[in-house]
Structure 1
């Protein structure tokens, strides 16, 4: 399906959009790259305002966009740089709360339409939680349209005062392929050997080492399967502030867990795993859940946020912060290859219901056209 911007179709100059990204988590950064590529291919001029390191990682310029370095902070210099980049934009699209707030400041006094995508909910405690609520309110009231990646984010935007909030189509961008990725079975023994999972089940968790990821609960759960023979190995890919604390627990309690750090071969790690684990206390449209189902890896995840809506009946869902339920689900699946095979088949069917990159770009472009078309005079 090819949707050409109706601006170019009517002979007007091409639509010019500015995509604003903060530090950007992996999901929102990959989404912006996918959007930039799809929009540029359809004749839209795209400028991505993001920190330089984000362009190094995601190569927005290689996707056909112009990149403008805008630091993460909301100081006057960053806002001025963003304001300058948005000067002749037909529409500005910001991703995430902090990037959206900077866009609101940069567009102050202008009538440029602002689209905001909420990929996840920002969290904080104490006084900072109050500040985040004020930021959310300011952003959703200034936005022309708020797109939420899950139904509960759309509901939250409406409750916070959005005049137009809609469910966003967000695809899982395809990997930039290597020949080896086409044959994961070839890599599987190598990956398992590297992680130390020869002759034992490999359970894979992915995500930053932060409190809300639920790794405390996961470590508690691993105690329950130390008695299994062979003992499953849990590998956790990611970095973050809890690394020291988690590593101490692993060593002190003799837990069958390895922290493998930040990795850029997540698809290969998942393809080598027997199960994928998502123990988060909160989660929106989880990239890991999508990658696991695509890779035909049975998933055990918490029943939180956008997870049930995303995976349907294609995963084992357990309550958050319940180590016993998590441990039981893992032990059951490891002993039940038929159930694992059923989950793999359901996963493939569920993944087929998610939007493609092409459909995601088409939906976003239809919103852009709606907001930028000249209105006929009555």
Structure 2
């Protein structure tokens, strides 16, 4: 890895970067907060362009960055605000497809280097899926460098026409610890009682209630667990367009499942859980999977996207959409404490191999230096 910039020499202005964020993805928002803090500590001037709500949640200004409110939409006013924020930037770094597309529009062909990080893959069907592919091609062809958080995202960027696509080191800040530090066991028992899981296994899933998350398959699998004694309780934290459909199924089929809406205490929920479930149709560096391994909670996940690369031997992996395989994996783990302990230990070892925040900032700075340092004359 090439040397990275630190504080600029006396009397010289520091590198000015603009981080463009859509604000709708927890993983990319947390990454930008971590990145901003590390860059500022190394003398880089950082402006984060994101919706005001994202700054309230992630406190970019508290990390030493300037925050500019830019709505998520691609309307002319939004693009104009972003164009003004990028006017004197040495480099622009956009996170996610829609934020990257707005950055391309705002730069309008200017020679300012554009780095794009793909944290995940956009999900859509039919005509919208075709539109997203067109946006992907437009973005990666305009980008100077595309960073993908998983190998398959790097391959996708190259297949879409990227000039330079690389695997990104992406670290998330350590997950928050349970609220009641002095007695985490008591805190977990209290939360289990509030959720209705006293004296029964608690299975936890977290994520938006959308089609690609695999919750319909999860509800199919729940039928197999109803014959267990005691009957496990499945708790799903998240909101989305499928809430009504899922709630009706839960009521009509009398399933032991609770939808608890969007939560900001995922660390506490995981600390109280017996198993973590990730039934998605596609994931990259899943924030929830990382949190589960950090919390030493056995994980059952689908063998899709970047999940195998992320978790290694630290989770039970099943095919997407296969309710029987999901049900069998959960049933087997609930009956095998030794296997659960092995997964916990594997999870601790696997998490130790993930990039640190310092390593992530160092890689990004090396890319920035490469794109902004004057090239020697031959």
Q: What TM-score, normalized by structure 1, do the two folds share?
A: 0.97
Aligned length: 376
Looking at structure 2, the residues matched to 263 and 179 of structure 1 have their Cα atoms a distance apart, in angstroms, of: 14
C-alpha contact (below 8 Å) 2:123/2:212 kept by paired residues: no
2:180 partner SS: helix
Q: 2:134 corresponds to which residue?
A: 134
Looking at structure 2, the residues matched to 163 and 228 of structure 1 have their Cα atoms a distance apart, in angstroms, of: 54
The structural deviation recorded for 1:122 is: 1.0
5 Å matches for 1:110-189?
Answer: 110-175=110-175, 180-181=180-181, 184-189=184-189
Looking at structure 2, the residues matched to 277 and 181 of structure 1 have their Cα atoms a distance apart, in angstroms, of: 25
Looking at structure 2, the residues matched to 203 and 170 of structure 1 have their Cα atoms a distance apart, in angstroms, of: 28
Alignment deviations for residues 188-232 of structure 1 (CA, whole Å, 9 cap, x no partner): 111111111110000000000111000000000010010100000
CA gap of 1:198–1:282, structure 2 versus 1, over 3 A, is same
2:117 partner SS: strand
C-alpha contact (below 8 Å) 1:292/1:298 kept by paired residues: yes
Q: 1:22 corresponds to which residue?
A: 22
The structural deviation recorded for 1:175 is: 3.7
2:79 partner SS: helix
Q: 2:231 corresponds to which residue?
A: 231
C-alpha contact (below 8 Å) 1:31/1:171 kept by paired residues: yes
The structural deviation recorded for 1:7 is: 6.8
Q: What TM-score, normalized by structure 2, do the two folds share?
A: 0.97
Q: 1:308 corresponds to which residue?
A: 308
5 Å matches for 1:273-352?
Answer: 273-352=273-352
1:169 partner SS: coil
Q: 2:361 corresponds to which residue?
A: 361
Where in structure 1 do 4 or more consecutive aligned residues deviate above 6 Å? none
Looking at structure 2, the residues matched to 13 and 175 of structure 1 have their Cα atoms a distance apart, in angstroms, of: 35
Unaligned segments of structure 1, at least 5 residues:
none
**Cα RMSD after superposing both structures:** 1.5
Looking at structure 2, the residues matched to 299 and 255 of structure 1 have their Cα atoms a distance apart, in angstroms, of: 21
Unaligned segments of structure 2, at least 5 residues:
none
Looking at structure 2, the residues matched to 296 and 31 of structure 1 have their Cα atoms a distance apart, in angstroms, of: 22
Looking at structure 2, the residues matched to 309 and 184 of structure 1 have their Cα atoms a distance apart, in angstroms, of: 31
Does 1:107 pair with 2:73? no
Q: 1:46 corresponds to which residue?
A: 46
1:110 partner SS: coil
Looking at structure 2, the residues matched to 62 and 182 of structure 1 have their Cα atoms a distance apart, in angstroms, of: 28
